[in-house]
């Protein structure tokens, strides 16, 4: 056998290095490409600007990003008619440079509203007619600004209570339930190409919330309202059972023709951290990705922050934390490695 042929045969017979094996992705970005989904994170804008190590991991690992706070109403219009776009613009521009798609979060919510709005409604200086115009103008202005730059918007966020009733808010109280359909229509007019979502927490397991949200979506669809997807926030804790029916719930929404997304995944634990707790956390993360992959319509899995350095959890859940894929030093945790090991279950 000629030397060249012998050399070629040896090369072909040699095992592929781990990085060349499609079953062993090097990072989350490669994992996303292998599975044909988007893997994203919420972004802390101050960290994006001021922490090079944070920015390096963000841009290396993720194909999709969400502004944690920079696109919320109190951030973009803290004074009536005075818009502050710098933070949101920074997120969108960084995403463009790093081949990341963007989820807009969120257009209509009962929290993080500017004081001028809530005070005006409370003291009666803003009546229902004016409130409707303000909401329309806010949605139109923000969506139009990022037309063609936002893949998907969380149009309405957390509009269903735990008991399955519609959430009491200034929107429901003063505009009635029709504000939801209006919000989707206004967003669609401002950017007809953007995917429009309803987004909520505990939708993974809470039966009253699931049934009400399903009924709401069906009603919107029956009236020709442009709604394209449902977002499952996915704020989990290892002290609670994993929502074992989650894939079936995703399937029920997918059956309505909706895109499905896990939009805010994190898995908190009671402190202190132990190896056993980290191992349990890893199984929750891997099961969430497996559930997403098992449903054809699930096109995105986004974690709500990727490092414990900037996690919202300790400030909200007393005595709990360590909810993210990377620790405070940006070292990957077992949960990160568990995600890389997930195989497509279909």
Q: Mark 281-320 as b/e (b = at least 16 C-beta within 10 Å).
A: bbebbbbbbbbbbbbebbbbbbbbbbbbbbbbbeeebeeb
3-state DSSP assignment of residue 345: coil
Q: Is the dihedral of CA 202, 208, 214, 217 positive or negative?
A: negative
Instruction: Find out whether 308 and 326 touch, Cβ atoms under 8 Å.
Output: yes
Query: Is 264 assigned a catalytic role?
Result: yes
* Cβ atoms within 10 Å of 277's Cβ, excluding its own: 18
Residue 324 vs residues 56, 119, 266, 271, 328: alpha-carbon distances, Å? 17, 36, 6, 14, 9
**Has residue 216 been placed in a domain?**
yes
Question: What are residue 200's DSSP bridge partners?
Answer: 232
**Has residue 1 been placed in a domain?**
no
Using CA atoms in the order 214, 63, 234, 315, what is the torsion angle rounded to 10 degrees?
-130
CATH at 97: 3.20.20.80
Q: Which letter does DSSP use for residue 20 in this model?
A: G
Helix/strand/coil (H/E/C) assignment for every residue in 83-114:
CCCHHHHHHHHHHHHCCCEEEEEEEECCCCCC
Residue 94 vs residues 16, 17, 143, 284, 302: alpha-carbon distances, Å? 34, 32, 18, 30, 17
3-state DSSP assignment of residue 65: strand
Rounded CA-CA distance 171/303 in Å is: 28
Containing structural domain, residue 242: 25-340
Answer yes or no: is pLDDT of 3 > 50.
no
What confidence tens digit (pLDDT) does each residue in 97-107 have? 999 999 999 99
**Has residue 6 been placed in a domain?**
no
State the chain's mean pLDDT as an integer: 94
Give me the mean pLDDT over the 291-320 stretch.
98
What is the percentage of the chain residues whose pLDDT exceeds 70? 93
Enclosing H/E stretch for 40: strand 38-43
**Has residue 312 been placed in a domain?**
yes
Enclosing H/E stretch for 210: helix 207-222
* Cβ atoms within 10 Å of 236's Cβ, excluding its own: 24
From the candidates 68, 264, 276, 300, which is the catalytic residue? 264
Give me the mean pLDDT over the 37-51 stretch.
98
**Has residue 10 been placed in a domain?**
no
Answer yes or no: is pLDDT of 92 > 50.
yes
pTM: 0.92
Q: How confident is the model at residue 23 (pLDDT cuts 50, 70, 90)?
A: low
**Has residue 123 been placed in a domain?**
yes
Closest to 55 in 3D by CA, of 66, 67, 43, 63: 43
**Has residue 332 been placed in a domain?**
yes
3-state DSSP assignment of residue 199: strand
Instruction: Find out whether 260 and 297 touch, Cβ atoms under 8 Å.
Output: yes
Enclosing H/E stretch for 236: strand 235-237
pLDDT score recorded for residue 39: 98
- Number of separate domains in the chain: 1
Q: How confident is the model at residue 15 (pLDDT cuts 50, 70, 90)?
A: very low
What confidence tens digit (pLDDT) does each residue in 121-171 have? 999 999 999 999 999 999 999 999 999 999 999 999 999 999 999 999 999
pLDDT score recorded for residue 62: 98
Q: How many residues in the chain? A: 346
Answer yes or no: is pLDDT of 11 > 90.
no
**Has residue 7 been placed in a domain?**
no
Give me the mean pLDDT over the 235-247 stretch.
98
């Amino acid at each position: 056998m000629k030397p060249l042929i012998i050399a070629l045969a040896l090369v072909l017979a040699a095992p592929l290095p781990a990085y060349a094996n499609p079953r062993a992705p090097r990072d989350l970005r490669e994992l996303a490409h292998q599975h044909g989904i988007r893997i994203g994170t919420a972004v802390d804008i101050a960290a994006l600007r001021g922490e090079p190590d944070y920015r390096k991991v963000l841009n290396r690992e993720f194909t999709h990003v969400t502004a944690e706070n920079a696109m919320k109403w109190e951030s973009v219009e803290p004074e009536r008619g005075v818009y502050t776009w710098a933070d949101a613009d920074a997120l969108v521009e960084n995403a463009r440079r790093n081949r990341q798609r963007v989820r807009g979060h969120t257009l209509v919510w009962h929290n993080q509203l500017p004081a001028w709005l809530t005070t005006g409604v409370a003291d009666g200086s803003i009546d229902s007619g004016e409130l409707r115009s303000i909401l329309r103008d806010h949605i139109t202005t923000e969506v139009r600004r990022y037309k063609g730059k936002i893949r998907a918007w969380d149009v309405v966020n957390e509009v269903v209570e735990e008991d399955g009733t519609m959430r009491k808010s200034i929107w429901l109280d003063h505009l009635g339930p029709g504000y939801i359909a209006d919000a989707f229509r206004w967003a669609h007019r401002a950017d007809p190409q953007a995917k429009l979502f309803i987004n909520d927490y505990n939708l993974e397991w809470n039966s009253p919330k699931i049934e009400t949200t399903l009924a709401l979506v069906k009603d919107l669809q029956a009236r020709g309202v442009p709604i394209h997807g449902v977002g499952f926030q996915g704020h989990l804790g290892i002290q609670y059972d994993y929502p074992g029916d989650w894939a079936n719930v995703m399937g029920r929404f997918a059956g309505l023709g909706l895109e499905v997304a896990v939009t805010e995944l994190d898995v908190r634990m009671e402190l202190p951290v132990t190896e056993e707790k980290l191992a349990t956390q890893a199984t929750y993360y891997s099961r969430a990705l497996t559930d997403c992959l098992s449903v054809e319509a699930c096109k995105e899995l986004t974690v709500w922050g990727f490092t414990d350095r900037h996690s919202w959890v300790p400030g909200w859940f007393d005595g709990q934390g360590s909810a993210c894929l990377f620790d405070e030093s940006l070292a990957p945790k077992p949960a990160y490695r568990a995600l890389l090991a997930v195989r497509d279950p279909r």
